[in-house]
A and B are shown apart, each in its own frame.
Chain A
Amino acid sequence: MLSVKDLWVSYGAIKALKGVSLKIGAGEVVTVIGSNGAGKSTLLKTISRLIEPKSGTIDFCGQAIIKSKPYQLVDRGLIHVPEGRAILKEMTVWENLILGAHRRKDKQGIKLDIEMALSYFPVLKDRLQQAGGTLSGGEQQMLAIARALMARPKLLMLDEPSLGLAPMFVNEIFKIFVKLKEQGITILLVEQNATQALSIADKGYVLDLGKVILAQDARELLKNKAIVNAYLGKNKSIS
């Protein structure tokens, strides 16, 4: 479904990605783990065409997307939920949701999908007319995910969705990810909360200083003591 080959990205003199390659099959959950500054967010931003790479190729469903516009990717079902729950704080929860379906024209389908998104995240139901900024951190993350679902994603890229959330919220959104997977949505999950991410993933990539240092079956990775200690130790207490 997604195939990234030899991706190089720089911010001025800083080389953030140094030849990253990665493959995701349809229906898989793939997690990318790595410490702060490893280049995880840069990878997702480059895939969703927010950042220009220096070189490399990105194919989505068999077509090169390296020259596509971000809205064309949204049309094709590649949806990015960025780090720090980028919801629109001044707009209402309902407006956030409806903007998630910005590229869609099927009014009836949009209506049904709002119902469905609200059934996943019932806390949002009573807050539709509230400004996004008045929600708690956990609720904002739920809104960000619900909004992404409004675009009918084929591939959902989530950048550290559990960051800064209370364990209760973390468990709740991970349960949702499992449900989404069962529905056939492919997921690329970037996490520092690696133990929990690997527990729902099929495959895991370890990113370090802009390079993939390990790509393995998620269960194998979880058993790898050296990796667990080096990269995954941080959030053990949560899982």
Chain B
Amino acid sequence: MIQQLINGLLLGSTYSLIAIGYTLVFGVLKIMNLAHGEMFMIGGFLGILMVKLWNLPLPLALLGATIAAGLGGLLLDLVCYRPVKKTYFLAPALSTLGFGIVLKDLVVNLAGSEPQVFPAALLMGDFKIGPVLVSSIQLLVLALALALMLGLDWLINKTELGRSMRATAESETTAKILGINVNRVTILTFVISAALAGAAGVLIGLRLGKISPFIGSTIGIKGLAIMIIGGLGNLRGAFVSGILVGILELLTSVYVGAIYADVIAWTLLIIVLVMRPQGLFGSKINVDRV
């Protein structure tokens, strides 16, 4: 049982990283970024390729994948968000959806549809804490995920950039009259969100040992459900919900059956939408307006 809880915590922490990216963009810009799952896939994919093809050490590959995904976020803003009419609420959602599909097809065409596998040499040893078996990789994943989320929390709540982002989230007009460069805030929001997804991609790759080019539409999109479960735009809500879903999935696959694990996030989503549409931890924006 404790073993499952720990495994769930580890899985959940990567879910949290993905969901936080969705909720960050939603909170600040009020749009659903449907290319986010693909940013996550790109991160994982590039992470593995950098280790395999260039023999980069893992920390460098993680950094590289994070930066590459961040640049993807920049491109996403320039191509799919800035030129698109925001007053038509479907427009940015559809353009990001298109961007994601193009990215996925590009990857499949360039690298094939088979999953990329992490070299076995990377997989470090397991060790025991009392009766619980923990792998070094898992600990690494958990530590990195937590560090990234604490870092983001600090950025949002304690820095001038974070204040600008929160101000823009509350009112773009007010942000403008304060002298906040809203375009810059928008770019950085996309970049940070995509970079977190890229890092999550590498971390999930380490955990699974491989990344499929289609992972964006299986695991990546789960982040969307988790964001809504936690409350739209609520960063801490996304964090806790990610871990909650991870643990529930693990418990389900062990005690009910692995095939049911993937429905957990979506079942929970439906229950939350029916019983508590503002999300478990409350929405940061007015849900009626969406």
Contacts and interface: CB of A to CB of B under 8 A. Distances in A.
Interface in A53-100: 69-71, 73-75, 79-82, 86-91, 95, 98-100
B178 A74 contact: yes
B167 A50 contact: no
A70 B180 CA distance: 8
Chain B CB within 10 A, most for which of A89, A90, A98, A100: A90
A235 B259 CA distance: 71
B167 A99 contact: yes
Chain A CB within 10 A, most for which of B170, B171, B174, B179: B179
A197 B177 CA distance: 23
Contact of A90 (B170, B177, B179): B170
Contacts of A175: none
Contacts of A99: 163-164, 167, 178, 180
Interface in B46-88: none
B177 A80 contact: yes
Contact of B179 (A75, A88, A95): A75
Contact of B170 (A80, A82, A88): A88
A151 interface: yes
Given A71-B179, A103-B179, A151-B179, A95 B163 contact: yes
Contacts of A5: none
Interface string B163-175: 1101100110110
Contacts of B160: 98, 102
Contacts of A87: 174
Interface residues of B, number: 16
A71 B171 contact: no
A86 B180 contact: no
Nearest to B169: A90
A29 B79 CA distance: 46
A192 interface: no
B177 A69 contact: no
Chain A CB within 10 A, most for which of B163, B170, B177: B177
B181 interface: yes
A69 B163 CA distance: 20
A195 interface: no
B174 A91 contact: no
Contacts of B179: 70-71, 73-75, 102-103, 151
A141 interface: no
B174 A88 contact: yes
Contact of B177 (A82, A89, A91): A82
A50 B174 contact: no
A75 B180 CA distance: 11
A95 B284 CA distance: 17
A88 B167 contact: yes
B176 interface: yes
B163 A86 contact: no
A70 B176 contact: yes
27 contacts: A48-B177, A50-B173, A50-B176, A70-B176, A71-B180, A73-B179, A74-B177, A74-B178, A74-B179, A75-B179, A82-B177, A86-B174, A88-B171, A88-B174, A89-B170, A90-B166, A90-B284, A91-B167, A98-B160, A98-B163, A99-B163, A99-B178, A99-B180, A100-B178, A102-B164, A103-B179, A147-B178
Q: Which 8 A-B residue pairings sit nearest by Cβ, starting from the closest?
A: A74-B179, A103-B179, A70-B176, A71-B179, A86-B174, A80-B177, A102-B179, A71-B181
